[in-house]
Amino acid sequence: MGQENSLPLVDENTPPQTLESRSVEAVGRMLKALEKKEEKGRVVVMTGAGISTSAGIPDFRSPTTGLYANLARLRLPYAEAVFDIAYFRSNPLPFYTLAQELYPGNYRPTITHSFVRLLHDKRILLKLFTQNIDCLEREAGVPDDKIVEAHGSFARQSCIECKTPYPQEGMREAIREKRVPRCVDAACNGLVKPEIVFFGEQLPREFFENRELPREADLCIVMGTSLSVQPFAGLPSLCREETPRVLINMEQVGGIGSRADDVLVLGDCDAGVRKLAEAAGWLEELEALWARTAP
């Protein structure tokens, strides 16, 4: 997995196998055709922090604006310690201080999140794989069973020792008060945290149970990710050779662009999604769906 990173871009004279052309317009026509199929088409979406930055949530690694670059106030031994399970065991308070800023409810979903919801409404979304922990896909209305949160999220919380679930309202209150909650089982009394995957923890079972789904996709859409963290980064390479892969991103990543049916839409994610929706004849519907997420 991840072997495509160094592959050259496909020669512009190489004809696509599936699309009419390597263009947003051709992908739009394909989306419309998948919607109209008697057996609905299957679209797999893969997303990263870039789809949430326009909501005001920083990505992790940008040199000056990223989350890790702005954690000096927490007095950490190193920036990533805030998401390190060993450090959390010894000092969980910095995470709960940061969580107050990142917790769901503080941010509005972007139009890109609403685009994923629209794919679900059209009954063509096979699965959304996301690296994000912000739950904005859920707030946009994408149902739980369509989401694989590869790095976990704030959607659930449990004891790190005995794995006993912790009430959502209790977690919301603890984060609001920057207080560290303890296991509901007094005999355990272990630390509780949201089921975000920290450094030193395994990815969720759901990721491994669903990781082969890209092989079944008619279309793959990758948005707002550097595709630099494995095993998530290897997902696009699992798509069949004839499956179109669309990258909506600030830069070309992950070897997408090396296959005959790869389409690059480089630039802002929200702008790219609007272009794609317009090509499918869905822009007005998408804007109306996004308007419903306004506070």
Which of these is catalytic: 113, 151, 211, 274? 151
- CA dihedral (220, 225, 230, 236) in degrees, to 10, reads 10
The helix (run of H) or strand (run of E) holding residue 85 is helix 85-90
Does 54 appear as a known binding residue? no
Q: Is 151 a catalytic residue?
A: yes
Question: In terms of residues, how long is the chain?
Answer: 295
Does 210 appear as a known binding residue? no
Cβ burial of 292 (10 Å; 0-12, 13-18, 19+) is exposed
Does 249 appear as a known binding residue? yes
- Backbone φ and ψ for 24, nearest 5 degrees, come out as -60, -40
Does 254 appear as a known binding residue? no
Does 59 appear as a known binding residue? yes
CB contact at 8 A, 222 and 272? no
Both structure tokens of 259: 């296959």
Does 135 appear as a known binding residue? no
Does 61 appear as a known binding residue? yes
For residues 114 and 279, what is the distance between their CA atoms, to the nearest angstrom?
16
Give Cα 175 distance to the centre of its chain: 23
Does 70 appear as a known binding residue? no
Does 29 appear as a known binding residue? no
Does 268 appear as a known binding residue? no
Q: Which residues contact 31 (CB under 8 A, 6 or more apart)?
A: 41, 43, 124, 219, 276, 279, 280, 282
Does 221 appear as a known binding residue? no
Which positions make up the binding site for Zn(2+)? 159, 162, 183, 188
Active-site residues, by number, are: 151
Binding residues: 49-53, 59-61, 131-134, 159, 162, 183, 188, 225-226, 249-251, 269
Residues placed in the known binding site for NAD(+): 49-53, 59-61, 131-134, 225-226, 249-251, 269
